[in-house]
């Protein structure tokens, strides 16, 4: 089958996501270990919250009719505190001291806050009236038993974990983390901390792409650096398969030079190529394929190209493998352009840019003057990528643009 030499970015992402099943597998974990994980099934409440009418304030539980005409004097007959409810009921002319979160006693239909009362021994003087229901949280105000509150595919952050706990779940069924193996390639690379030769550079791409993969929800496997020989590459590819990687990410060697052996090595190991080369800058030589159950993403060797492709393609693929139902949603935002830009060519540009507050509620995105894909310093100073569609006309300072936050 003929492969388009320059695939549009949107089509490339669609194909990458299409290679992901809805779920890799399910693990049952204690709630305390579920931060950052993705729910495998819909989660229903096991209890009603609050389970009883409770006080929203510190004060006194009263009958609204008794304090309709203020000031009104009532007898204090007991106390209701959180975890220690008042066992009796409130009758005419009576009040119960109550604290926030405590059950409202039978007979009471309002809570008057303590600031609106005056204590006189065993009695209180209510200085104003309160309508029925004032300062009382009804049973089930938050949710009722059986309500589905967290859907399958939801990433679990702090609010979701608190809600799951309140729903009385001590364990959760979550998606298995995808295993992502990363392989840097090239005779020119040495590991950080080593002494590069006169024609070598320090490998940096692995660490940024690995961090993005982990943030997206993956377990990562560092396969190290493979030199520019088929034997070295094929050995590391087999190591990825032995580690049961769900995704193999290669870094570098995906272009067309005499020393770019990665695609051929993958093909020799059984890769079925999906696409190669997309209409974007940086990141044109992106490669995607399958090797059995292992997905392949071949990222370019230039650092910025590799990182931008990691943001745009690897992170959504990981989220899809985690079972997130919105893995492919549009994550771009509106912004205002901070400088004039020339017309664009046939590739979609992702310009590294700084962000500043804008006067109309939208941030101002100002691309840096140097956009070379080897410049990590500029990328580290960038807060977003300004998107320039193919054949976009000249743009002026103040024009609307779309951005992807870094």
Q: State mean pLDDT over 174-185.
A: 97
Multiple choice CATH, 26-49+142-175, 2.40.30.110, 3.40.50.12640, 3.30.930.10, 3.90.105.10? 3.90.105.10
What percentage of residues in the chain have a pLDDT greater than 70?
97
Assign 257 a pLDDT band (cuts: 50, 70, 90).
low
Domain at 333-405: CATH code: 2.40.340.10
Assign 3 a pLDDT band (cuts: 50, 70, 90).
very low
**357 pLDDT higher than 70:** yes
Q: State mean pLDDT over 61-70.
A: 96
**2 pLDDT higher than 80:** no
Q: Which pLDDT belongs to residue 21?
A: 85
* pTM for the model: 0.87
Q: Which pLDDT belongs to residue 6?
A: 87
The 3 state secondary structure assigned to the chain is CCCCCCECHHHHHHHHHHCCCCCCCEEEEEHHHCCCCEECCCEECCCCECCCCEECCCEEEECHHHHCCCCEEEEEEEEEECCECCCCECCCCEEEEECCCCECCECCCEEEEHHHEEEECCEEEECCCCCCCCCEECCCCCECCCCEEECCCCECCHHHHHHHHHCCCCEEEEECCCEEEEEEECCCEECCCCCCCCCCEECCHHHHHHHHHHHHCCEEEEEEEECCCHHHHHHHHHHHHHCCCCEEEEECCCCCCCCCCHHHHHHHCCCEEEEECECEECCCCCEEEEECCEEEEEECCCHHHHHHHHHHHHHHHHHHHCCCCCCCCCCCEEEEECCCECCCCCCEEEEEEEEECCCCCCCEEEECCCCCCCCHHHHHHCCEEEEECCCCCCECCCCEEEEEEC
Domain at 9-24+177-321: CATH code: 3.40.980.10
Assign 281 a pLDDT band (cuts: 50, 70, 90).
very high
């Amino acid at each position: 089958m003929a492969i388009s030499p320059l695939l549009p970015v949107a089509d490339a992402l669609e194909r990458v996501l299409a290679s992901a099943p809805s779920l890799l597998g399910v693990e049952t974990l204690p709630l305390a270990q579920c931060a950052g994980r993705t729910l495998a099934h819909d989660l229903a409440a096991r209890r009603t919250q609050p389970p009883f009418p409770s006080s929203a304030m510190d004060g006194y539980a009263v009958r609204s009719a008794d304090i309709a005409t203020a000031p009104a004097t009532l007898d204090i007959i007991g106390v209701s505190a959180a975890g220690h409810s008042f066992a009796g009921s409130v009758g005419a002319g009576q009040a119960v001291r109550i604290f926030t979160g405590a059950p409202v006693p039978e007979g009471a239909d309002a809570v008057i806050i303590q600031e609106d009362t005056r204590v006189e021994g065993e009695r209180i003087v209510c200085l104003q009236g309160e309508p029925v229901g004032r300062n009382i949280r009804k049973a089930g105000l938050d949710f009722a038993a059986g309500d589905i509150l967290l859907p399958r595919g939801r990433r679990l952050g702090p609010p979701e974990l608190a809600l799951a706990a309140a729903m009385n779940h001590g364990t959760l069924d979550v998606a298995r983390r995808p295993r992502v193996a990363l392989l840097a390639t090239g005779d020119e690379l040495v590991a950080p901390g080593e002494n590069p030769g006169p024609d070598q550079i320090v490998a940096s791409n692995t660490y940024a792409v690995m961090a993005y993969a982990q943030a997206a929800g993956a377990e990562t496997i560092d396969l190290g650096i493979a030199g520019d020989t088929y034997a070295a590459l094929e050995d590391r590819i087999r190591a990825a398969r032995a580690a049961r990687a769900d995704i193999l990410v290669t870094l570098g060697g995906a272009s067309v030079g005499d020393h770019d052996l990665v695609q051929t090595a993958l093909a020799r190991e059984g890769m079925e190529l999906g696409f190669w080369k997309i209409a974007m800058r940086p990141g044109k030589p992106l490669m995607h394929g399958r090797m059995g159950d292992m997905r392949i993403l071949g990222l370019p060797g230039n650092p910025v190209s590799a990182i931008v492709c990691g943001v745009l393609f690897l992170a959504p693929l990981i989220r899809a493998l985690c079972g997130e139902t919105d893995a492919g949603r549009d994550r771009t935002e509106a912004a205002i352009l901070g400088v004039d830009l020339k017309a664009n060519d046939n590739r979609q540009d992702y310009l590294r840019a700084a962000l500043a507050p804008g006067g109309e509620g939208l941030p101002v995105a100002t691309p840096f003057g140097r956009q070379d894909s080897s410049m990590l310093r500029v990328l580290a100073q960038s807060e977003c990528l300004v998107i320039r569609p193919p054949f976009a006309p000249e743009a002026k300072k103040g024009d609307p643009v779309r951005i992807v936050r870094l």
